[in-house]
Each structure stands twice: as structure tokens, then as C-alpha cells.
Chains A and B, each alone.
Chain A
Amino acid sequence: MPRSGRLKDLGVYVALGAFALTTLAPFAWMLLASLKPLAEVESANPVPTVWKFENYSAVAEQVPFGRYFANSVVVAGWVTLLTCLSSAMAAFAFSRLRWRGRDALFRLYLATLMIPGVVTMIPNYTLMVRLHLLDTYTGLIVPASFGAFGTFLLRQFMLGLPTALDEAARLDGATHWHVFWDVVLPLARPGVITLAIFAFLGNYGSFYWPLVMVKSPHMRTLPVGLLTFDTVYGRQTNLLMAAAAMSLVPPLLVFLFGQRFLVRGIQLGAVKG
């Protein structure tokens, strides 16, 4: 029994190792390709003969890459903030307050989760045209900040919190706002952090909305900027890979710091959702 168990363990490590290798190989190829001189990008050998670290700064000489970067981080940051705050408030109303029509309205929220994004994309685009918000930060941020998903996630989380504390606070004469801000929100922090990670990663990678909203080069977010770079300078695979590699740094950081919250949040959504 122990020997076969050890053999089995070995098999598990081999399978995981093979899979991890498949996962990592494209990223390794990307990093190597990003360091090649232009003359070698079409060579079959993945390893550069000369290591051109200056490729990374060369990206910014061809396109305003820093600007794309800043646009993406600023837009995703604002969307995350607005999503978390408005969703937490709505989730509080849907989970902790009693009022007529609460569950009916919540079901309406849920129903919209099934509607394809493209259905609302077109009217939102025409609305932005009407409001002269094309090509603005407001236009990039505000329509992306109020989906039903965040409200759903936080409502589920708040339903799982004990009500004893906020009832005690209410008896002590605390207002609803105090109960929300000082009692429920601190307890719901893991849920809010999970939502913040989802919202940031989702919006940072968001492509469709910025693609139709952005007209001028200085408003491009990273995904749109990468696409332009690919279209205009596509033969410079080395610089393109350098740009792609740099754009992966923020999600990597968010992932490394938020991993344990992410797993917990997914558990939450799956088990109770």
C-alpha cells in the first residue's frame, strides 16, 4: 500500500509538472522573443543570440505606451471603486433591510445577468454619442461600474453574516448608515476584496467597450493600444511581445496579492450562488 501510494504521488507530480510546463511555455517564449533583435524574430530558434533589453524602452518610443498603461490603471481603478461602493450599498439594501418589492427587484437584477453584453453595448454606445461622452474618461468609467454581478456577489456574502451585531447596533440607536459603514461593511471585507479583484482584473482586460468608445490615440487603454500596435507594427514581434509582457504585470501583482481572497470568493459564489 505505501509503495503504490508513493508511485501514485509521483504520477500526480508528473501530470501537474507536464501541465504547468504547457502553461508556462508560451510565456517563456514571449519573454525570449521580447529580447530578440529585429533580425531574429522570424528565426526558429526561440533563444536570442543577442539579448536586447532595450526593446522594453523602445516600445515607448513608437507608441505612448506609458499613457496606455496609465489610462488602463486609472479607468480600472475608478471602475473598481465605484463598483465596490455602489454594489455594497445595494447589497445592504437587498440583504439587511426589509421593504416591499425587494425580492422582485433583485430577481430583475439577476435576470439581466443572462442578457449578452452586446445587447446593452449598442444602446450604451448611442447614449454616449448623444451625451458627447465618446473619447472621455467618464464614458469609459461610468457605464462599466454598475453591473448586477457585484450586487449579487455581495448580497450573497452579506446574507451569510450574523445579524446579531447589527440588531444590537440598531437597538443602541445607530442609523442605517452607521450599521452599514461600521458593522456590516467591515464584516463583509473579504467579499468586497474579492469583488475588487474581479472588477479590477475584468476591467483592466476589458476590450470591447474601450474599443468602441475610444477614438483618439491618447485615450487608448492597454488592450486597444496593443491591438493598434499589432496592426501598425505587427512585424516587430520582439517589441510586440515586450509590450504584451509589460501589460501582464498589474494583473500578476493583483493575482499574487489577492490569490487567497479569490479562491474564497469563488467558493462563496459557487456554494451559495
Chain B
Amino acid sequence: MSKRSDLVAAIGFLAPNLLGFGLFTAGPVLFSFAASLTNWNLQRTSPLRFVGLDNYRNALASDPFWFYLGNTVYLMLGLPLAIAASLWFAVLLNRPLRFSGGWRALLYLPSFTSGVAVMVLWKALLNPDFGAINVALRSVAAGLGVTQFESPRWLLSTKNLLALSLERLGHDPGQWGLGARDALILMGLWAAIGGGNMLLYLAALTNVPTELTEAAQLDGASSWRCFRSVTWPFLAPTTFFIVVMSVIGGLQGGFEQARVMTTGGPASTTTTLSYHIYTEAFERFRIGYASAVSWILFAVVFGATLLNWKFGDRGTDDA
């Protein structure tokens, strides 16, 4: 059992994974950084040359980049609501219920099927003319006696609830309404609420000692007070984890929705940074520029994670 024999064995056990990891993860990370400093274009319009930080500078100086970052952040506006709803349903499911496994499976259904099939489905649901969502909205409006009801154009509309203007960051009251970005948020909520976050909360709730909640109830605490003072502190680390992971996922997100449902439109309003990188790399073949933007995206993700850590971890320490 000498240290040396362990090292030899460790190399053997690690070899397959380490080889793949080096070849397809670690190596590409270094390679990507090197590429971001060049004008590399797969269509070879000009000779390959080192351009320093030009790609980074060009990206940060362009209006589209900030507009796409704005779109990315807009699509994350549903996250707090999704997380709160996940928590609420986890608390409901944590009680002794009939068919608790069945409920859990039903609510979990959208999230493990999410992907292209679900996006294709939602594209049809959101069709302004015959999609189920507008059909339902119109019948509700008719039922309420609203005659002048104009149903949202969803994926075909640049409108949005924050009245953001087109093409660059700014405000334009004419853009107020429900449009493509809101439609994607709606779909995201549908897919996310019963998903992994709810299961994480359910797992965390099993760690709350029932003696504590029972004692609080005997003392006459209301269920809200009991949740706030007894249960919540046990959930803080999980919440922190979920927030960090959701922000990371949100900043990197939007590619599939844009590629499958909107091709980034209308008027680029659903183009997120990840979709922008895709079109630059795989449609315009500007590998150097796309690599630079993906490193900027990494910096944004990293910065957001640090901020979360700095301000969010305090709540965790209390627990």
C-alpha cells in the first residue's frame, strides 16, 4: 500500500476520462482563448493573423452586443417567479398526500421532456391564429364581453412588457405589450416550475427536522411564521445553489429557443448571446470573433456567480 503503487493505479483509472477531458474540454478551452486573439475565419477571406484584443474591443463597442445581452437578461426575468413557485409546490408536495409520487411525476413531466420536441409544440401553441393559447384568450375575452380584443402576436411580435426599444437598449412606449420574449418566458415558466428545482427543494425539505416544525406549531405559530422561522433557514443553502445555477444557465441560455422557434427574431429581439455566438461561428464562420464573444460570456457568468457568492452566501451562513 505504498503511495507509489496508488499513483500508478490512479493513472490507469483516470486515463480514459482524463484523455477525453483533456482532448474535448481542457484543450479546447485553451485553444478557444488562443483563437479569440486571431481573425480566424473558416471561409478564409483574409490570411490568419494575430489581432490581440481587437475581437473583444469590437464586440464591446457594438450596439448589437449590448442589445443581445439585454435580451438575454430579459429572458431571465421569469427566474424569480419560477424559483418561488417551485418552492411553493415543493412545500405542498412535502405534506402527506394521496398519490404523492403521481403528483410529483405529473408536475415533473415538462422538464424531462424539454427540448426541441417541446419547443416545436409551443411554437404551435403560440401560433397567433389557431394556437391553443390565443384560442383560449379569445374565448375568455368573449366570455367577459370584451369586443375589441386584440390577441397578442407572440413569437411574431417585437413588443415586450418592459417597452424596450428595437435594435439598441432604450425605452419606447410603442413597444409595450406581449411579444416573442414574453412568450419564451411563459414557456420557460411552464417547463421549469415542476422541474429539477422543485425536486431539489423536496430533497432539502426532507432535511428539516419534523420535531422543530411540530414544536413551532404547538407553540401556536401560524404556518407562514413556522415556514419563515423554522423551515426557510434549512432551505437557504439549496436556494443559494438554485439561484447560482439558474443565473449561470440563464446567461448561457436562449440558444435552442432562438434556433428552433424564432431564428433569433423578430428584429433580433430573441437573439441572446449564446445564439449570437452560434450564428457568428457556424453560419458566418467567424471563429475568432465568436470565440471572443464566448469568453466575454464566460466573464459575465463568472462575474454574476461572484456577485451571487458575495451577497447571497450571507443568508446561507445564518442557517
Contact = CB atoms under 8 A, between A and B. Distances in A.
Contacts, number: 249
Contact of B13 (A97, A122, A271): A97
B3 A112 contact: no
Given A23-B194, A86-B20, A99-B6, A15 B92 contact: yes
Given A26-B190, A42-B130, A115-B298, A230 B120 contact: yes
A93 B10 contact: yes
Output the residue of A16, A176, A230, A247 with the most chain B CB within 10 A: A16
Nearest to B40: A126
Interface string A136-153: 000000110111100100
A104 interface: no
A251 interface: yes
Contacts of A15: 89, 92
Contacts of A248: 113, 117
Question: Main SS of chain A's interface residues?
Answer: helix
Nearest to A256: B105
B252 A97 contact: no
Interface string A27-60: 1011001000000011110100000000000000
Interface string A1-40: 0000000010011011001101111110110010000000
Contacts of A256: 105
B129 A207 contact: no
B152 to A, nearest CB: 16
A162 interface: no
A117 interface: yes
B132 A26 contact: yes
Interface in A92-107: 92-93, 97-100, 102
B200 A270 contact: yes
A138 to B, nearest CB: 12
B274 A120 contact: no
A263 B203 contact: yes
Contact of B203 (A151, A259, A267): A267
Contacts of A90: 13-14, 16-18
Contact of B298 (A24, A92, A116): A116
18 contacts: A16-B97, A20-B103, A29-B125, A42-B129, A93-B10, A99-B7, A112-B26, A112-B29, A116-B294, A119-B32, A120-B24, A120-B29, A122-B32, A126-B287, A201-B112, A207-B260, A247-B117, A259-B101
